[in-house]
Amino acid sequence: MRTENVDVAVVGGGPAGLAAAAAAREAGAENVLLIERGERLGGILNQCIHDGFGTKMLGEALTGPEYAQIFIDRLSDSGVTSSLETMVLDLTPDRELTICSEDGIRRIKAGSVVLCTGCRERTRGAIRIPGTRPAGVFTAGVVQEYMNLRNILVGRKAVILGSGDIGLIMARRLTLEGVKVECVAEILPYPSGLARNIVQCLDDFDIPLYLSTTVVDIHGVERLQGVTLAQIGPKGGVVRGTKRFIDCDTLLLSVGLIPENELAKKAGIDLSPVTTGPIVDDQFQTSVPGIFCGGNALQVHDLVDYASMESQKAGQSAATFAGAGKLPDQNIDVQPGNGIRYVVPQTLSGEEAVDFSMRVFSPGSDRYVVFRRGDKMVRRMKQTELDPAAMIRVRVRADRFKGSEGPLTVEVTD
Ligand SMILES: Cc1cc2nc3c(=O)[nH]c(=O)nc-3n(C[C@H](O)[C@H](O)[C@H](O)COP(=O)(O)OP(=O)(O)OC[C@H]3O[C@@H](n4cnc5c(N)ncnc54)[C@H](O)[C@@H]3O)c2cc1C
């Protein structure tokens, strides 16, 4: 089998991959190949026809396709080669990719690789809802694709399980298309989606949100005939006497996204048990030298802007690595402390400013996110609202890491 050589191979043509490929080229990599299994660039944004994309990076609220087009245009001006309808099947630790397209199976040897493979939705099987297996049970992203890209209406009366952003956006979208959305049920005692989506997608359309509630049974043989909802107590059990039947022909599951990391696993990259994405340093380099990661494959993003920003950095670093430039040594570990679920990146050099991304365990207000190294307070930032659904981004200047030793801890304090 013929092997082709490229400087930088970017896997995935969503917003993260688009940003990484353009940045790698702009940083001096001659031969950049962007590989996308779908028939067009843009990733998940192609089916997101609502607005709200680009507020942080571009200062305007665009639709998904509008946002993606800006980066597609930038890419086509840059001289990056895109290979559509091409699936990356395998990746080795020494950066050899096996790809499959209508031309057959080929090998690519890359100077560096950026993984921007996005994420996939959790399904009914993943959360083990009991009951029959009728038609009418979908993940929210699948319904979004049916409605927005294929013009297919999936039902007439819907219940949505999970108050993540995709579920909330689909509650509004279904309502606008004439579907009666009976309710959104959320197992947690607080919503999992952004506050703005609760207001704009549920409150504005009088769709009830039932917290601490889940689906405990599914009814119907050929087609879904209804679901049983029940309240969930603080220890995770069903609260007696709270079961109720809701008549519906459609159940939409918005119960979480999982970073798509089959290739990372094949390359032997260390994954975080919390994010389930690769562990990365401040250059977005994974535990395997020369393989970088950005976007939803790294951590599930609520805002696309941050996926683009971090992937831009990953692309620049990949170009440096491929050009035998030196990446800074990484010797400061980053550790999540009280109240922090995870922090990315997980190691840093201390030689340059770092944009940290993190999520908290539980909601709160008027608290501080504090970075400490040894006895030194490196950064303290007030958070008027803490929301587990919203990623927190904090920039720390390089000089703040100096003058202290040991790991950097990040915690929530009063
Ligand atoms: C329904 C929904 C609504 C959203 N709403 C908003 C919003 O209002 N505002 C906002 O800012 N953000 C929003 N987001 C978040 C934003 O869309 C994501 O953060 C962003 O799309 C992540 O980009 P990505 O490139 O990492 O992943 P994706 O867009 O998923 O792209 C990954 C790409 O990789 C390709 N791929 C995967 N594996 C392979 C392989 N082996 N070979 C080749 N190609 C491969 C896939 O085909 C895909 O095109 C929303 C997300 C969803 C799902």
**Which atom of ligand 1 is found nearest the CA of 99?**
42
What is the structure's pLDDT at 2? 76
What is the structure's pLDDT at 288? 97
Q: 328 in ligand 1 pocket by Cβ < 6 Å?
A: no
What is the structure's pLDDT at 78? 87
How far is Cα of residue 352 from the mean position of the Cα atoms in its chain?
Answer: 25
Q: Quick one: which of 221, 215, 222 has its CA closest to 251?
A: 215
pLDDT along the chain (414 residues), means of 10: 91 98 96 97 96 91 96 91 98 97 95 97 88 95 95 97 93 97 96 90 97 97 97 93 98 94 98 97 97 97 94 97 88 96 96 96 93 94 90 94 92 94
* pLDDT tens digits, one per residue of 72-81: 999 988 899 9
**12: CA distance to ligand 1 center in Å?**
9
Q: 142 in ligand 1 pocket by Cβ < 6 Å?
A: no
What is the structure's pLDDT at 127? 84
What is the structure's pLDDT at 290? 97
Rounded Cα gap, residues 94 and 127, in angstroms: 36
Rounded Cα gap, residues 179 and 172, in angstroms: 10
Structure tokens at 6: 């490229």
What is the structure's pLDDT at 369? 96
Residue nearest to atom 30 of ligand 1 (CA): 118
Q: 307 in ligand 1 pocket by Cβ < 6 Å?
A: yes
Q: Quick one: which of 264, 358, 255 has its CA closest to 306?
A: 358
Q: Ligand 1 pocket check: which of 10, 39, 48, 263 to mutate, most ligand atoms within 8 Å of Cβ?
A: 48
Q: Ligand 1 pocket check: which of 44, 49, 149 to mutate, most ligand atoms within 8 Å of Cβ?
A: 44
Kindly give the interhelix angle for 15-26 and 64-78, rounded to the nearest 10 degrees.
30
**Which atom of ligand 1 is found nearest the CA of 51?**
8
What is the structure's pLDDT at 128? 85
Residue with tokens 């696993």: 265
Sequence-ordered alpha helix ranges (H) in 134-282: 140-150, 165-176, 195-197, 262-266
Residue nearest to atom 45 of ligand 1 (CA): 12
Q: Ligand 1 pocket check: which of 99, 117, 280 to mutate, most ligand atoms within 8 Å of Cβ?
A: 117
Rounded Cα gap, residues 11 and 292, in angstroms: 10
**Which atom of ligand 1 is found nearest the CA of 87?**
42
β-sheet bridge partners, residue 372: 377, 409
Question: Cis link prior to 345 (omega < 30° from 0)?
Answer: yes
What is the structure's pLDDT at 261? 95
Rounded Cα gap, residues 64 and 52, in angstroms: 8
**181: CA distance to ligand 1 center in Å?**
26
Residue nearest to atom 10 of ligand 1 (CA): 303
**pTM for the whole structure:** 0.94
**Which atom of ligand 1 is found nearest the CA of 166?**
1
Q: 88 in ligand 1 pocket by Cβ < 6 Å?
A: yes
Rounded Cα gap, residues 161 and 167, in angstroms: 8
What is the structure's pLDDT at 322? 96
Q: 392 in ligand 1 pocket by Cβ < 6 Å?
A: no
Rounded Cα gap, residues 299 and 313, in angstroms: 15
Q: Ligand 1 pocket check: which of 69, 97, 304 to mutate, most ligand atoms within 8 Å of Cβ?
A: 304
Name, in order, each residue with C-beta under 8 angstroms of 153's C-beta and a sequence gap of 6 or more.
146, 147, 177, 178, 179
For 81-112, b/e burial (b = at least 16 CB within 10 A) is ebbeebebeebbeebbbbbeeeeeebebebbb
Q: 309 in ligand 1 pocket by Cβ < 6 Å?
A: no
Domains and CATH numbers, the chain: 1-121+257-327 (3.50.50.60), 123-255 (3.50.50.60), 329-414 (2.60.40)
3-state secondary structure of 175: helix
**374: CA distance to ligand 1 center in Å?**
38
